[in-house]
Every structure is written in structure tokens, then in C-alpha cells.
Amino acid sequence: MRSSSSVAPRLAATAAEAESFVDIRNIGKTFVARGRELQAVDGVTLDLKQGEFVAVVGPSGCGKSTLMMMVAGLVPPSDGEITIKGEKVTRPYTDVGVIFQRDALLEWRTVLNNVLLQIDVRGLKRANYEKAARTLLARVGLGGFENYYPWELSGGMRQRVALCRGLIHDPSLLLLDEPFGALDALTREQMNLDLQRIWLEDRKTMLFITHSIWEAVFLADRVVVMTPRPGRIATIIDITLQRPRRLAIRETQDFGGYAAMIREQFQAFGLLNEN
């Protein structure tokens, strides 16, 4: 339950990997808006081990989404560099599944074809992936909805399709930017359970951006807390709770302790003012 900056013993199902999978070295990003410079991210250094579930929490505007976009290679960093599996990221990284807060499904494709978009763009053969896509959809409870269109589905269902789309090509890294932020509380809890289940089955490396303290503690092996803009790492907390975690774990003392640590950080930033 102690906070630490990087290497700490943790419960991992896979064999210990000494090299980092995603290596973020002193990353910074400055935007120019209305003639003024805005520094979104400042000097972030972080590494993700293979198969690790890392959550990043922070207040609005702290640059956490920007950080994720830089890992994805969709936004170039102003300073520092990112390496994934030893290769420097200079353009959009493709061995990845990306899930945004807006599901960004293509309204003109059926559910199945939305999942298979991942295959079409990569130029792979559909026939080889169709069965896997159906299985994935069934795994998230959307079996039978393959021929529905996105506008016929609820928000939670759409996000599940987005999740399948991010998994169909079996990437080794998953980047999720507040994927459940637009959903109602109950659906959100269900989605968190589903995500945990999927992660436990495949052990993909996860970088999960969220506003929600409890969501971060519930899902992650480590929680990175970022400061308000310009975003820096305030602290990294190892979460040593047992897996698989059930919803009831949120009422335990250990859980509450972690949540409290993070909340105190936020209050140190001047947020969540109770006076």
C-alpha cells in the first residue's frame, strides 16, 4: 500500500519482464492556442511493463489524454521520446487498440462491420477474422446484434462494440481514454467488470485514462496521479489488491485507503475543496 515511483513488487500472473514495454522518457507537449503557448504535459517519465494495467488519473486539462495520444503516436511530443518494444514512436503506432470516450463507430456499418473495420483498414482477409469477431461480440454480450446499426444501440452497447474493435486484431497494447465517461453509473460499473474480465483472459498491456478515482483503483495495477496543467506526475501508487476484484471490494478498508491517498493528492492540488 505504499506509494512508489516505479519498480515495486506486484502480483503479476506472467513471468517478470525486466525491460519495459512502453518507455515514456521525459515527455512534454506544448500547444499554441490564440497566440499563446500552453504547456499540456511537462517532463513525464513512466514505463509500462508488458501485461500491466496502468491507470492515469488527474483533473481536467492535466494532459492525460494528450499523454495517451502521444503514446499512440497520433500527436508528436514537443520534448522527450516514447519507445514501444524498443522502437521509437514517430508516427501512429499500429500494434494497438484505441478506445475513445466517444465510441466513434461508423454509423453506416453494422456492428460486425464496425469491428471488422480494424481488419479492412489493415488489408487483412475478412474471412479469417469474422469468426473471431463474432466470438468477441458474444463475449461482451452482444451476440445476435451483429447486423444492427450503431444508432439502434444504447451507449453502453456501442462502447462494447468499440472495445471489440480494439481487440479483434489481438494488439499487445490497449489505450483507453475515459471509455466509460459518457455512460450511466450502472452501465459503467458493468463495463468495468467486463474490461477486467477481458484483461484477465488476455493480459494485454493497458493504459487507462480516467477521471474516476474508484475506477482507477478498481482496475489498475498502478495508478499514476497527474498534477493540474502543466501535467506532471505527482505520484504513482501500486495497487496490491487481489485479482479478480469484485465490486464489493470498493467497500473494503484497503480500497478506501488507496482512494483516500489519491483524493488527498487532488485536495493538495486545490481540488475537491471541502471548506
Q: Which stretch binds other proteins (CB under 8 A): 24-32, 115-123, 204-212, 265-273?
A: 115-123
Q: Output 31 or 269, the one with its CB closest to other proteins.
A: 31
Q: Which stretch binds other proteins (CB under 8 A): 16-24, 105-113, 212-220, 225-233?
A: 105-113
Q: Output 140 or 261, the one with its CB closest to other proteins.
A: 140
Beta strand pairing call for 87-88 and 79-84: antiparallel
User: Which positions ≥6 away from 118 have C-beta within 8 Å?
Assistant: 97, 165, 166, 168, 169
Give 10-65 as a DSSP string. ---SSPP--S-SEEEEEEEEEEEETTEEEEEEEEEEEEE-TT-EEEEE--TTSSHH
Over the window 136 to 175, marking each residue x when it contacts other proteins by CB under 8 A and - when it does not, the resulting string is: --------xxxxxx-xx-----------------------
Q: Is 120 near other proteins (CB under 8 A)?
A: yes
Q: Which stretch binds other proteins (CB under 8 A): 11-19, 22-30, 120-128, 185-193?
A: 120-128
Q: Is 116 near other proteins (CB under 8 A)?
A: no
Sign of the CA dihedral 229, 231, 233, 236? positive
Could you say which of 76, 92, 244, 257 contacts other proteins (CB under 8 A)? Answer: 92
Q: Is 212 helix (H, G, I), strand (E, B) or coil?
A: coil
Site residues for other proteins, 35-74, by CB under 8 A, read 69, 72-74
Could you say which of 2, 13, 108, 253 contacts other proteins (CB under 8 A)? Answer: 108
**Which residue shows C-alpha cell 486539462?**
61
Name the minimum Å distance from CB 82 to other proteins. 14
Name the minimum Å distance from CB 153 to other proteins. 9
**Which H or E run includes 128?**
helix 126-139
What size, in residues, is the chain? 275
Q: Is 121 near other proteins (CB under 8 A)?
A: yes
Whole-number CA gyration radius for the chain: 19
Name the minimum Å distance from CB 48 to other proteins. 17
Which 8-state DSSP code applies to residue 151?
Answer: G
Q: Which amino acid is at 203?
A: R
Q: Which amino acid is at 27?
A: I
Q: Are 23 and 188 in contact (CB under 8 A)?
A: no
Name the minimum Å distance from CB 32 to other proteins. 17
**Which H or E run includes 118?**
helix 111-122
Site residues (CB under 8 A) for other proteins? Answer: 69, 72-74, 92-94, 96, 98, 100, 102, 104, 106-108, 117-118, 120-122, 144-149, 151-152
